[in-house]
Chains A and B, each alone.
Chain A
Amino acid sequence: MTSAATPFEFKQCVTILKSTGKKAKDLRKLSDLISSVSDESIFHHTYQYFLKEHVLEYTNDFAHWVGESLEERSLAEQLSNVDPYGFGTIGDLRDELRNVIMAYLEGSPEPREARPGDEFYFNETATLVFPVGIWARNLAEFLMAIKLIETGSIYYHFYEARVRVEDKADDFSKWIAETLGEKELAMHIRSIDPFMHNVEEIQKHIADAVEEWVKRDMERMVQVL
C-alpha cells in the first residue's frame, strides 16, 4: 500500500451563529437584502446549509423559507436548483438568487407576507477551524479516520473545501489523487453529488468507496504472493 510523504491532516470546523439584525417578511424585501447583506451571510445561507441537519427537500435557507413559510413551492424548487459551487464569486451567486426571485415575481401574483415571527432572518457565522489530531499516511489509515471523524470534519473537507481549494475540489479527492496517485478513486469520490446527500451519507459513501479500494488492493497483493 502506498504511503504518502505528506500525510492527510484531518481538520474540523464549528460555527457560531451571528445575527445581522436584518429580516425579510416578503419576497421583494428578501431580494433587496440578498443584494445588500454581507458575503458571509450569503455564504452561510447557501454553502453552510449542508452543515445543518436537514431533509433532502431544499438545498439552501432561502429555498427552505420560501417553501415552508411562504408556501411558494415553485420558487422554492427553482432556488433549490441554484448550485452555489457553480459560481466564481459570492457576488455572482447573489445576482443569480436575485434574478430567480425577480423573474418569479414578474410572472406570478404578489405572494403573501410571512406571519409575524416567521420572517427570514439573515444570519452569518464566525467559523473556528481546528485540527482534530488525526493524520492518515495511506488509504488504510484514511479509512479508519474517515469512519471516526465527526460530521463537522466531513463538512470542512468535502463541502467547505470547494470554496477554499483552487480547482473547487474537495480535500479528500485532491489528496488521494495528488499525494497517493490514486486518480480513479479520487474521481469516484469527486463524483459523489454533494446536493443529494446529507453529511452523514457523504461520510458513508466515502468510507464505502475507500474500503472497496483497500480490499481490492489487498486482494491484488495476495495474488502477487
Chain B
Amino acid sequence: MGNVKTVNSLKARMVFWRILKVAFYLLGFLLLFHLVYRDAGKLEGDLFESARKIPLLVVAGAWAVVAIVQIICAFIFKKRMARIIIVAIVGFAVMVGPLVYLDFFIEPEFDTLAQEYEAEGLDFDSYGLQVFNYAELAEDLNDDIDEFLDLYNIDYESDVYGSTNTDTSEYLEIEEGTDVIDTSFFISDYVFGLSVGDAAYSKNGMYADGYVFGFAQTKYILETYYNTQQKYKADGEDADEALAAALDDLTSDPNSDWNEYKESAEYLEFYGDNIDEVKNAKRYYVTPERLDAILSALGANLGAGDSGDSLRSIIGTINMATGGMIPSSVANSLTGDLSLEAVVLLASSFGLDISEDYIMELLEGFSNYQSPQTKPIFYFIEDAELRDYAYAKYFGEVHGGKIGSVLIGERIGCVTMDESGYEAEDLGERMTMLKQTEKDLGYMVKYYPWIALRNCFMYFAGLIPFTIACAYLFASLEKKTLDKLIKGGTR
C-alpha cells in the first residue's frame, strides 16, 4: 500500500514538473509577445500599419532562433548544462541585439536628426524623451495628419471611383515609388506627380476622372503650388499672371504647339464633330450647342400658356415698382427660339455688356471636361516649373472641385451641395506644418517600432535566459522523477 502511495506521489510530482517546464517556457516568449503586441498597438493609425508588425516579427524571429538553437543543441551536446548555457546565451543575445541596435545605431541617428531639425527651424525631442514618450508623439502625428485629411476631405491612401473614366476609357493605378512612365499606356511623356505616391492616371498623364487624392499627392500639389508662387513673388512676379500669359500665348498664336496639336488626328479623334462616339469629349460638358438646346427647352415651356401669362404678370408688377426695369423683350423672347445669342442680346437690353464667350467661361467652372485621352493645354507650357504649377493649380481647383476635395480656392475641402468646406488657410503655415509632419513621419515610422519593443526587451533580456534555464531545469526534474517511477518508486 505504501508503495502505491509513493508511485502516485511520483506521478503527481512528474506532472507538477512538467507543468512548470511548459509554464516557464511559455512565460518567456509568449508573455513577451503579448507585451510587445500591447506596446506596438500604441502606434495607431494608417501611418503605422506596417510598422506595428515589426516588433512582433522581431519577437517571432527571436523565438524561432532560440527554438532552432535548442534543436541543434539537443543533437550536439550530451550534457544538459551545456545546452542550458548555450541556449540561455542565445536567448540573451536575441534580446540584447535589438537594444544594441537601438542604443548604438538609432540613438546617434537621432542626434543627426536633431541637428537637421534645428537647421530647418523645426521642433525635435531628444532620444531619451522620445523613448519615454513615443506613444504620445505617434498619436500627435496621427492627429496632425487626421486634421489635414479632414480639412481636405481625403483619406491617407488615395482612392478612385468608378471602373472607367467618363468616356469609358481605362485608367492605370500606379503604386508609390513608380518613376518610369509606362509608354504602353500613356500617350504623354509627362505624368504629374508620378513618383510621389499611389495614384490613378488617365492616358494623358492626368489623374483619372474619379481619382481622389491621398495624403502624398495632396501634399505634392500644395507644395508645388505654394513653392512656385513664392518663387515668383521673390522675383517680383505673379505666378498666376505668368500662367495666364503662357496660356494666352498658346491659344492666341496660331502656330503654337497647342494649336498645332488641336489640328492633329490624336486630338480630333476625341474632340471631333462626330458627337455619336462615346469617346468624344463634347458629350460630357456644356457646349454652346447643348446650351442652345437647354435654353430652347426652357424658353418653349416658360413662355407658353399659363407660365407665359404669369411671367408677363410678374414682369409687369416689377416694372410698375421700378419704373420699367425689365425690357418687354424678355417676356417675348421666351420661346423655343431662345438661345445663347438671344440671351446675350437680352443682357444688352439690361445694359450688361457680356459675350457668349463670357457666359461659356462662367459655365466652365461647373461644366468642364478634359478628355482623358488628349494632352491638356498645360502640357505645352515650355517652362517646366510653370507647367508643374499649371497642373497643380488645375488639380487643386478644378479636379478637387469636381470630386469634393478642393485643395486650392477660397473654400477648401468638402465643398458639395450639402457642405461648404472650410475657409482657405494660410498655405505658408501649412507648408511649415507639412514639413514637420513629413520629417516626423520619415523617422517615426522607421524607428518607433524598435522603440516600442525596447522596454519589454530590456526586462526580458534577463527573463528569457532565466525562463529557458528554468524550463530545462524542470524538464530535468521531470525526467528524474520518471526514472524513479520506472525504478519502482523505492527511492
Binding partners A and B? no
